Every structure is written in C-alpha cells, then in structure tokens.
Structure 1
Amino acid sequence: MFNSILLVVCIIPLALYVLKMRKYKFKTKEMVVIAMFSAMSYILSLIPFVRYPQGGGINMFSMLPLLLVSVLYSREAGLTAGLITGTISLLMGGYIMHPAQVILDYTIPDMALGLSDMFGKDDKKRIIFGSLAAILLNTTSHFLSGVFFFGQFAPEGMNPVLYSFLYNFSGHGVEGVLCVGIMAVLPLANLRKVASLQ
C-alpha cells in the first residue's frame, strides 16, 4: 500500500512535465545540444573517481552538462536532457526493484538538475544558488530511494536513514558541489551568447 502511494506521488512531477512540454517548441539547435549534453552526462557517469558498493559514488562531473543545459537554453531543455540521461542510465543496466524506485533513482534526480535556473540565469550568484538547490533535489531523491528500497544494505545495527544519508550525500552530494564549483569559474554569460547564435 505504501509503495503504491509513493508511486503516485512520484508520478506527479512527471505529469507536470508532460503538461508543460505540450506547449513547448524545441528549436533544432536546442534538440542537438540536449542530445549531446545528455550523452556527455551519461559517458561522464561511467568514469568514477570513487565507486561505492551497490553502485553510486563520485563520478567525473556527470551532473555538470545537465546543470548547464537549462542555464544555456531553457528549463524545458534541462528537464528533457535529464529525462533522457536517466532513461539511458536505466536502459544500460539500471537496478529495478519497484516502479517508484525507478522514478526516484533514474528520472527525478536527473530531471531535477535541469532546474538549475530556478532562481534566474542573468546573475552568476543566482545560477550558483539554483544549481545547489538542484543538486539538493537530486541527492534527496536518491536518499529517499535509499531509505525506502535499499535499507537492507545498511550495515548491521545502522539506521537505514543514516546509511542512505551518508551514502548519497557523500556521493551525489559531493559530486554535485564539485560541479557547482566548476560552474562558478565558467564564463557562463559568454557561453550563453555562443549558445544563442544561430
């Protein structure tokens, strides 16, 4: 019963995305960039700095392309790139326990990275705070999946909530902060000008 309720809650963001995208028209260049950045994100996720048991860990800045898409183009582009990346990850060997777990591990986290422009994209500080918030949403989704579906992997006597927190925030969270650090030094205004050229 609980898993069914959780599944319904997880479907809500996907339904909102579908409703939003019904009116959105992608330009050709935007579609090409979405495809390229999604592929880059997936490829970077295959290069680990630190690998944890049961997957996870710190990868080579795999979140950075998804954070950049919405800053360079639009939130819709960022959400779509995240959806594509998550789907590729799932199809290339994702671990499936329950439909809600699939959404919490492969759909919502990557799509959340497309919200990096949530506080605006005309000021670097706003972009940094938006990116940090997107990272928090990403990591929280993985954390919830860990609590609800992977608690059995916690060491004996360790609270599953604490285990999931340590596991996910020391992996996804650290990688996300490193990616935001890179964004802080990138010339984002210049990159946006180049991205807007036809």
Structure 2
Amino acid sequence: MSRNNNLVVLTEGAIIVAASTALAFIPHNLGASSISIVYGLIPMSIYALRRGLKPGLIAGLVWGLLDLILRGFSSGGFLNPLQGFVEYPIAFGAIGLVGLGSMQVKKRIEDGKNPIGLIMLYSGIGFVAKYFFHFIAGGIYWGMYAPKTMNPWIYSLVINGGSFIANMIMMFVLMLILSPVLKKFIIVKD
C-alpha cells in the first residue's frame, strides 16, 4: 500500500469513527429495556467491508475508546478497568471482523450479483463477536442488575441477544434500502 493510499484509508477510518460516535448520541434503547440499536454499526460495517479486516478492527477499537471516554465514563457504563476494556475497545473492535468478508463481498458486487447474503453473514460474525463480549461482561459485572428471580447469565443473554437481533434486523433493512448504491460504498475506486 502506498503512503498516499494509507492516508486515504486512515482518513476514511477517522470519518467513519466520527460518524459512528455521533450516531451513538441518538436515543436508541427499545422501550424500557436495555436492548439497544447501535446505529454506528452500519457505517463501521460498510467501512470494514470496503477496507478489510485490519482497518476495520482498528477503526472499531478507536470507536470503542472514544465511546468509553465520551459516554462510558459519564453514563455509569464503566464499572472497573477490566469491564471497561472488554465492553469498549475489545467489543467495539470486534465489529471489524465484518472485514473478513471484504474480498468476497467485493467480488460478488463486481460479478453483478446481489451481495446482501454475504454482507449479512459477515455482519453476523462481527455483531456476534461484539455482543459475545457484552454477554460475558453482563454476566460477570452487570448481573447485580438482573431481576431477583433471574439468573444473571440468562439476563445478559436476553439483553445482549435481543440487541444482537435488533441490530441484525436494522442491518438487513438498511442493506435492502441501500442495495442500489452498495457498489459505490464498498468498491474502492483507484
């Protein structure tokens, strides 16, 4: 990769991180539960598909650090350093795993085929990884907030599994809406 191309990838990553961070300030909880829609997953997933695994992981990690600083410390989402590390940089960085499908999705688009199935598969991998880390932290650190009659691990599974499902539905709907322009978002022009 040339130095100029590295700068373009870095600049795109910074813009995506800023957009994902800004989207986090839009109210996103479903009803009274802790199940939440994370709007920043969409631009972050598209970036990982566009630029690949390593840039996706790095952008996710930076997004997690920013979210920790801007929202985690101020909202009570930071209980201790290990929990903060797992739920912010690690969980958010895991979204970059969507980039595992970068080459396959690009090839599908270039062949004139519909990439939505592959996009959903690789988005599922990244989203499962993110919510797995939240599930672990939920069972260990947030279990005290579970209803008295509910096992903390079941509670964490319901909340994080519900968030995973809600975000996958959002991703699917938006990919259907964006399908006519996905090529412009994912394929890099020289």
TM-score scaled to structure 2, two decimals?
Answer: 0.79
**Alignment partner of 2:18 out of 25, 36, 39:** 39
Q: Using the aligned pairs only, state the percent identity.
A: 23
Give the aligned residue type for 2:22. I
- Tell me: CA distance 1:176–1:166, structure 2 relative to 1, closer, same or farther (3 Å): same
Q: Cα distance 1:65–1:144, how it changes in 2: closer, same or farther (>3 A)?
A: same
Match of 1:161 in 2: 153
The residue identity in structure 2 corresponding to 1:40 is A
Corresponding position of 1:177? 169
Whole-Å separation in 2 of the counterparts to 1:56 and 1:33: 31
- Calculate the aligned-residue CA RMSD, in Å: 2.5
Do structure 1's residue 188 and structure 2's residue 182 form an aligned pair?
A: yes
In structure 1, list runs of 5 or more residues that go unmatched: 1-22
SS in 2 for 1:59: coil
The change in CA–CA distance for 1:165 and 1:24 in structure 2 (over 3 A counts) is: farther
Task: Describe the shift of the 1:167–1:60 C-alpha distance in structure 2 as closer, same or farther (beyond 3 A).
Answer: closer
Give the aligned partner of residue 101 of structure 1. 83
Alpha-carbon distance between aligned partners in 1 of 2:183 and 2:130, rounded to the nearest angstrom: 25
TM (norm. structure 1) is 0.76
Q: Secondary structure at the match of 2:29?
A: strand
CA-CA distance at 1:188 after TM superposition: 2.4
| Inter-CA distance 49–90: structure 2 relative to 1 (3 Å threshold) | closer
Q: For residue 39 of structure 1, give the secondary structure of its aligned residue in structure 2.
A: helix
Task: Give the gaps of 5 or more residues in structure 2.
Answer: 109-114
Q: CA deviation at 1:59?
A: 3.4
Give the secondary structure class of the aligned counterpart of 2:97.
Answer: coil
